[in-house]
Amino acid sequence: MARRAATGPVLGRALLILEAFGPRHTVLSLTDLARRAGLPLSTVHRLAGELVAWGALERDATGRYSVGLRLWEVGSLAPRGLGLRERALPYLEDLSQVTHENVQLAVREGAEVVFVERIAGSRAVPVHTRVGGRFALSATGVGLVLLAHAPRDLQEEVIGSSIERFTPYTVTDPKALRRMLADVRTNGFSVSDRQVTEDALSVGAPIHDPHGMVVAALSLVVRYGTVSPHALSPLVRSSARAISRSLDAAGSDSTKHAPPDRLR
């Protein structure tokens, strides 16, 4: 069921309609759309028509709805997605070509990981992530990095909540999780050992903005037992540092060519 939108009546209902879609619900009938949005059928019929006219939704020949390309166009303009992805992509591709493993780039939004890019290795272990998808902070390699460098109150919120167990190896004990986060900050990389699936291991590293803040995380996901995490960490950290330098260069260039009023 979609989350209740905390905004004005019309906009809030439109957002509930858009939130009704998900990875397992990409195409919905009008009835299903109303049920998942928790709205009257007549309201959904009217608003869906307006969303189709704008391009946020598309309607096929059978009358079923899907997310429209116009929404994707607007979403791709998000600076934390597009700008970061463009700067990082050459290094992600290099890491993928060298290792032939899964490479992932993610940012934090609230208490969740949002995947900005993913390159699948040719013979790599299958993963459950997708571009634009969300996941728990406490389980993945990128999530552990982002959680380790998140504000302390958010860390405590996540650690103190009911942590979902994906496998028998998922770390749910608060003390163990705190030790893991401390190790990430000390060592400069994270290791998620079979926490999401029993056949995968992930090594992550932080990406810094020009001010030294951790704004994203990079990870390499491999099949468990094929290689030591400590053998992967230099590669992952080196790629993350290269992306950080690229972001730093971009920030310096924008300041150098900024109008005078922006330099004050």
Q: What is the pLDDT of residue 171?
A: 92
Provide the 8-state DSSP code for 213. -
Q: What type of residue is 258? A: A
Q: What is the pLDDT of residue 178?
A: 94
Band of residue 262 on the pLDDT scale cut at 50, 70, 90:
very low
Gap between the terminal Cα atoms of the chain: 48
Whether residue 8 is predicted with pLDDT greater than 70 in this model: the reply is no
More confident residue, 205 or 3: 205
- Shortest CA distance to 215 belongs to which of 250, 182, 244? 244
Band of residue 80 on the pLDDT scale cut at 50, 70, 90:
low
Band of residue 85 on the pLDDT scale cut at 50, 70, 90:
confident
Write down the pTM of the prediction: 0.69
Distance from C-alpha of 143 to C-alpha of 217, rounded to nearest angstrom: 8
CA 230 to chain centre: 24
Band of residue 82 on the pLDDT scale cut at 50, 70, 90:
low
Structure tokens at 156: 């405590």
Burial class (CB in 10 A: 0-12, 13-18, 19+), 164: exposed
Q: What is the pLDDT of residue 187?
A: 94
Whether residue 135 is predicted with pLDDT greater than 90 in this model: the reply is no
pLDDT in tens, 179-201: 999 999 999 999 999 999 999 89
Contact status, residue 70 vs residue 83, Cβ threshold 8 Å: no
Q: In the chain, what are the domains?
A: 9-74 (1.10.10.10), 79-255 (3.30.450.40)
As beta bridge partners, residue 67 has 57
Q: What is the pLDDT of residue 260?
A: 39
Whether residue 68 is predicted with pLDDT greater than 90 in this model: the reply is no
Whether residue 78 is predicted with pLDDT greater than 70 in this model: the reply is no
Whether residue 228 is predicted with pLDDT greater than 90 in this model: the reply is no
Structure tokens at 142: 């990128």
Q: What is the pLDDT of residue 253?
A: 47
Q: What percent of the chain has pLDDT over 90?
A: 47
- Shortest CA distance to 216 belongs to which of 177, 247, 238? 247
- Strands 200-208 and 65-67, bridge-based pairing: unpaired
183-220 as b/e: b if 16+ CB within 10 A: ebeeeebbbbbbbbbeebbbbbbbbbebeeebbbbbbb
pLDDT in tens, 112-125: 888 888 888 766 66
Q: What percent of the chain has pLDDT over 70?
A: 84
Distance from C-alpha of 245 to C-alpha of 64, rounded to nearest angstrom: 46
Q: What phi and psi, each to the nearest 5 degrees, are found at residue 197? A: -135, 155
Band of residue 229 on the pLDDT scale cut at 50, 70, 90:
confident
Q: What type of residue is 36? A: R
Instruction: Provide the mean pLDDT of the chain.
Output: 84
